[in-house]
Structure 1
Amino acid sequence: MATTTLRQCMRDVSPYLLLLVIVSTLGPLQFGFHLAELNAPQDVISCRVPKSTVSSRLSAAFTAWTSPSSSNRAVTTTAALPGCIPMNDAQFAVVSSMFTIGGLVGALAGGPISSARGRLFAMRLTGLFFIVGSVLLTLGTSITTMSIGRILSGVGAGAATVIVPIYISEVAPPRERGTFGAMTQVSINVGILGTQTLGYFLSSQSTWRWIFGIGIVIATLQLLGLSVVPESPAWLATHKNVSQAKRTLQRIRGKHYDIEEETAFWDSGATSPEEEALLDGSSTTLVESGPRRASVSSKASSKSNSNIGFFEIIKDVQYRPALVAAMGVMCAQQLCGINSIIMYSVSLLKDLLPINSAVLTIIISAINLITTIACSPLPDKFGRKACLLLSIFGQGTSALALALSIVFGAKILSAIAVLFFVAFFAVGLGPVPFILASEMVGPEAVGAVQSCCLGANYIATFLVAQFFPIINLALNERFGGAGWVYFIFTGLAALCGLFVLWRVPETKGKKDADEVWGRTRRLD
């Protein structure tokens, strides 16, 4: 069975499709990159610890390798910029959390822009935000400049996490949409691992700006790569350019691939052209034995070629349960505490664990990436809801173990608890929230719902980024010692688990939103 599935996947996936996925996921990769870029060099940037270990040796080697003239220019450039920017905990938290403010703006704007102007235009726009934001961070000399750079990078990241999952679902073969859907979270974890590793080697006053400079390189590669990426065929078909949509889809699938089944609905008008592209399921279920489905939701038949806006979604009682469920899961992704580790692990775990906290952070990021890849088939095998509940239970239990181990000084247990905390995130809370919106509503509403969900996600991320270090410090001073904040994450995990149990439906194996919510399907 596995061999048959692998052979089918190899037939369906062309090298050109792989190129499109790699280029498009450079956007989410930069989300992970910028999310964690301040973690390792935090003490150096804020003028607390002038680190000069591995990074200084790398800097010296680089200087010796370059020519004298190049070295003089490098010294002059470095001298023009301060080696650090004085910041206390609250000020550093502001700089860090500005990324989520920009992310909120990008998430809310990304869906409408991609629906109106196209996925490709929107992805190119995110590349420009990434470049400008990275330039300001690289050359930043004040808290204000760094904050503006973080905001602009956040706008690009917020929009990318809305647009890219939709684009991938629209270009991926029907049988492999579940697997390709996990690529967004995989690329985010690649970005996190990359920036944590760079931070370990480049955390010195003379080299920390290189981390942000590499962000410029990645954004430039993204824009260059997007020059060979076509517009989404489903979006083209929605905007009455069916012939070009078919040519584009044929190019993506390969010359000998039969695209007739995928494009049948584009000509017939029986369903929205985005319907089949946004569903995560097997193409063998696309056509039923009886009449063809008229819609993905009870309103899709009348709005098959239109997009529903934010206010319509909020006011419409039909979409409200899906909106609440999807937004709740997106908030749970952050409120269970994953970014307390991703963004602050180096300073949080310093002197608490038996190994260097920066090294542990790299190990954490690697485990996050490996487990995300390994667990990517689980939502299709066991169900979305089951994976979410297992993930939340695991993170809550790990948070409790982490809190107790830090309070009582069990350093080995603390390290193990951190690793399990991250591993359980990859089981469900990492990948599943990004695919739920397109499975719980029809294509006419997915753009608005996805933007609302990512907006809620960035608000929750802002709360963690802004208030975690402040609450952590206050609790440590109040009770003495560290680790008390993870009791709060344990309680939040329990609340999130109850929410998923009561308000989130299972979408695995459901053909459309009507079946997810148990509504009577309307047929033409």
Structure 2
Amino acid sequence: MNRMLSSASLLSNVNIPRKNENKLTKALFYAIIVASIGSIQFGYHLSELNAPQQVLSCSEFNIPSEGYPYDRTWLGKRGYKQCIPLNDEQIGIVTSVFCIGGILGSYFAASLANIYGRKFSSLMNCTLNIIGSLIIFNSNSYRSLIIGRILVGISCGALIVIIPLFIKEVAPSGWEGLLGTMTQICIRLGVLLTQGVALPLTDSYRWRWILFGSFLLAVLNLSMWFKVDESPKWLLAHGRVIDAKSSLCNLRGGTFEEAAQEIQKWQQQIESGDSLIEPTTTNSISGSNSLWKYLRDESNFKARHVITILLFGQQFCGINSIVLYGTKIISQLYPQNAIKINFSISLVNVLVTILVSLLIYSFPRKPLLMTSTISVSIAAFIMGMAMNYNKMNLLIVFSFIYMGVFTMGLNLLPFIIMREISSPQDMVLAQRYGTICNWVGTFIVAYTFPIIHDILSGYVFVIFAVTAASMSVYIWKRVPETKKHGAHYNDIRVSH
């Protein structure tokens, strides 16, 4: 009898591989799709003012051929204004305050998600997105547009932090890299979706329905989250062992006993001192282990300098001038088909993002990033000259090239390199700092581009070209190859 018990005890400690441990089940696929819709919401809001900007701001009246007096439309009868008078500076502010919300949302998101869970935090952010979207849709004033854009910015800023955490924690072994690229792909899909919705709706009668699309997307995402299990790793990290086993069993399939075996491995990992979930720091700006301490720490100066240049530089190459104002840029030379061309550019962006996401981890970082920045510089310069000399076809062709070569390297590599050059103890703060740099860079471009473009016209793209060329020189001299040679943050050679 004792021998039988001893044998059973030994068997219970044997880690029998689970049949579905590396399998992407229907439940897991559904969970990843639901989470990724949050990234689509981000892309939608980022670009939602692009196509309708001129009719929204009363800069242009575009009445469909079958149109009749606005006060007889459904919107007109309910007191919605046909447009909201905005000058270039106000357009820049309405567009860019999304980034202010994004900074707030992304800064606190990881800490809140670690306290309340990935699912509950996502539900709250979808709810905030619904409220903000309705405010934007119902706006009849400049002020209400700003309020709505800040709220959706907070929601989207939080979602794009929480979503990668959730996907990383539920992804089967071997799928982490591929599924980790879903965030960027879905952001581009969100931009594409906005441009697709705008194709039939960008006129002085129906532009508000483009903004209503984000409300529908948030409602869909909210309802779908209720059928998704919480991250089993988050549950286990908070001592909810039974819930963790149930969640893992539902997501990965197989039996409850098989799930229990994998949970046991995770418990051993916790006991050995490893963390199952992404660690976070205090929310205090000046507290211990804070962002302020990270900024003052001389030991990470070199890595921090590289992160600053790459994450700001990514935005100062001007890519979001196309995402946020592409229709306005193209309409100067080709007003009849500007929205269709902008949609096509977004489609190419999605396709290139998918291709790059599949291949980017196979190539050395530095040559690919330099190739991207040099190509962006050339494309931006030619676009600027084409705008100044009214070369319509040249502008269109190089708008596609500009978007494609940016996506080839500058889109993803700064974030990858940011992680690879940071020490383990600084990883979370480095990511938080880099995200803030990126948001601030986006804000600056979003706010200043309409103003500078009206003053300099195509020469604003020459500025972007010079920035990209300067980045190429910096990368060549100061950024290490983090893949081929396995460079560590201490190996970065940056002169003080």
TM-score range, shorter chain: 0.7 to 0.9
**Alignment of 1:400 onto 2:399:** no
Instruction: Report matched runs for 1:41-440 at 5 Å.
Output: 41-53=52-64, 75=74, 78-242=77-241, 244-255=243-254, 264=265, 266-268=267-269, 269-274=271-276, 308-353=289-334, 356-440=337-421
How far did 1:484 drift? 0.8
Aligned mate of 2:37, from 23, 26, 42: 26
Over 3 Å counting, the alpha-carbon distance change for 1:229 and 1:312 in structure 2 is farther
Q: CA RMSD in A?
A: 3.2
Q: Who is 2:12 aligned against?
A: none
Among 456, 468, 471, the residue aligned to 1:496? 471
1:309 positional shift:
3.8
How far has the Cα of 1:272 moved from its partner? Answer: 2.1
- How far the C-alpha of 1:440 sits from its partner, in A, is 4.6
Q: Which residue of 1 aligns with 2:15?
A: none
Whole-angstrom distance in 1 between the partners of 2:230 and 2:162? 12
The alignment partner of 2:146 has SS state of helix
Q: CA deviation at 1:397?
A: 1.6
Moved more, 123-132 or 430-439: 430-439
Separation in 2, partners of 1:370, 1:355? 25
CA distance in 2, matches of 1:116, 1:201: 43
Unmatched segments (≥5 aa) in structure 1? 1-7, 64-70, 279-306, 476-481, 520-524
Deviation per residue, 1:25-56 (Å, 9 max, x gap):
11111111011111111111111222123xx6
Cα 1:43–1:164, aligned 2, differ >3 Å: closer, same or farther? Answer: same
TM-score (norm 1): 0.79
**Inter-CA distance 233–390: structure 2 relative to 1 (3 Å threshold):** farther
Change (3 A) 1:21 1:436: farther
Deviates more, 1:320-329 or 1:387-396: 320-329
| CA distance, structure 2, for counterparts of residue 130 and residue 321 of structure 1 | 38
In 2, distance between residues paired with 1:82 and 1:95?
Answer: 17
**CA shift for structure 1 position 204:** 1.8
Instruction: Note closer, same or farther for the CA distance 1:518–1:199 as it changes in structure 2 (3 Å cut).
Output: same
* Shift in CA distance, 39/160, structure 1 to aligned 2, threshold 3 Å: same
What is the identity, as a one-letter code, of the residue corresponding to 1:462?
F
Q: Which AA in structure 2 matches 1:38?
A: L
- Aligned residue number for residue 489 of structure 2: 517
Closer, same or farther in 2 for the Cα pair 1:87/1:76, shift >3 Å? closer
Q: CA deviation at 1:274?
A: 3.3
1:25 is matched by which residue type in structure 2? S
Are the aligned partners of 2:76 and 2:82 in contact in 1 as well (CA < 8 Å)?
no
C-alpha separation in 1, matches of 2:179 and 2:224 = 19
> Structure 2 vs 1, CA of residues 431 and 10 (structure 1 numbering), >3 Å: closer, same or farther?
farther
Does structure 1 residue 460 correspond to structure 2 residue 441?
yes
- 1:325: Cα distance to partner? 3.5
Q: Give 1:507 shift.
A: 4.3
CA distance in 2, matches of 1:273, 1:448: 16
Q: Contact 1:353–1:412 (CA<8 Å) still a contact in 2? A: no
Distance 2:306 2:102 in 1: 21
Does structure 1 conserve the Cα–Cα contact (< 8 Å) formed by 2:423 and 2:489?
A: no
Return the alpha-carbon distance in structure 1 between the equivalents of residues 151 and 122 of structure 2: 14
Identity across the alignment (%): 32
Taking structure 1 as reference, are residues 115 and 323 closer, same or farther at Cα in structure 2, changes over 3 Å only?
farther
Q: Secondary structure at the match of 2:469?
A: helix
TM-score by length of 2: 0.84
Quick one: distance in 2 between partners of 1:352 and 1:137? 30
**Counterpart position of 2:8:** none
- 8 Å Cα contact 1:162/1:454 also seen in 2: no
Corresponding residue for residue 460 of structure 2: 485
Aligned partner of residue 356 in structure 1, secondary structure: helix
Residue 266 of structure 1 deviates from its aligned partner by: 3.6
Task: Give the whole-Å Cα distance in 2 for the aligned partners of 1:426 and 1:272.
Answer: 35
Residues of 1 paired with 2:25 and 2:343: CA distance? 33
Q: 1:409 to 1:133 in 2, by over 3 A?
A: same
| Residue aligned with 1:206, SS | coil
CA contact (8 A) 1:115 1:447 kept: no
Verify the 8 A CA contact 1:238 1:272 in the aligned structure 2: no
Shift of 1:510: 9.0
Partner Cα distance (2:469, 2:113) in 1: 36
Residue 258 of structure 1: CA displacement? 7.8
Alpha carbons 2:420, 2:489 under 8 Å: kept: no
Q: What is the CA distance between 1:16 and its match in structure 2? A: 1.6
Query: Larger deviation: 440-449 or 493-502?
Result: 440-449
The structural deviation recorded for 1:421 is 0.5
- Deviation string 1:357-386 (CA, Å, 9 cap, x unpaired) is 111100000000011111112221103444
Partner AA of 2:460 in structure 1: V
For the 8 Å contact 1:39–1:199, the answer to whether it is kept is no
Q: Do the aligned residues in 2 keep the contact of 1:111 with 1:447 (CA within 8 Å)?
A: no
Whole-angstrom CA distance in 1 between matches of 2:355 and 2:312? 24
Checking the alignment, whether the CA contact within 8 Å between 1:266 and 1:272 is kept in structure 2 is: no
Instruction: Report the equivalent of 2:6.
Output: none
Q: Shift of the alpha carbon at 1:76? A: 6.4
Say which SS state the counterpart of residue 226 (structure 2) adopts: helix
Q: Is the 8 A contact 2:37 2:221 kept in 1?
A: yes
Amino acid corresponding to residue 178 of structure 1 in structure 2: G
**Alignment match, 1:294:** none
Moved more, 217-226 or 9-18: 9-18
Deviation at 1:220, TM superposition (A): 0.8
Aligned length: 461
SS in 2 for 1:367: helix
Contact 1:353 1:414 in 2 (8 A): no
Corresponding letter in the other structure for 1:133 = G
Change (3 A) 1:173 1:445: farther
Contact 1:112 1:447 in 2 (8 A): no
Distance in 2 (alpha carbons) for counterparts of 1:244 and 1:432: 37
Unpaired runs of 5+ in structure 2?
1-18, 280-287, 492-496
The answer on whether the counterparts of 1:78 and 1:206 sit within 8 Å (CA) in structure 2 is: no
Describe the superposition over 1:173-229 as per-residue Cα deviations: whole angstroms up to 9, x where unpaired: 231222111111111111101111222211122211111111111111111111122
User: Relative to structure 2, which stretch is displaced further, 359-368 or 244-253?
Assistant: 244-253
In structure 2, relative to structure 1, the CA distance for the partners of 1:320 and 1:259 (3 Å cut) is: farther
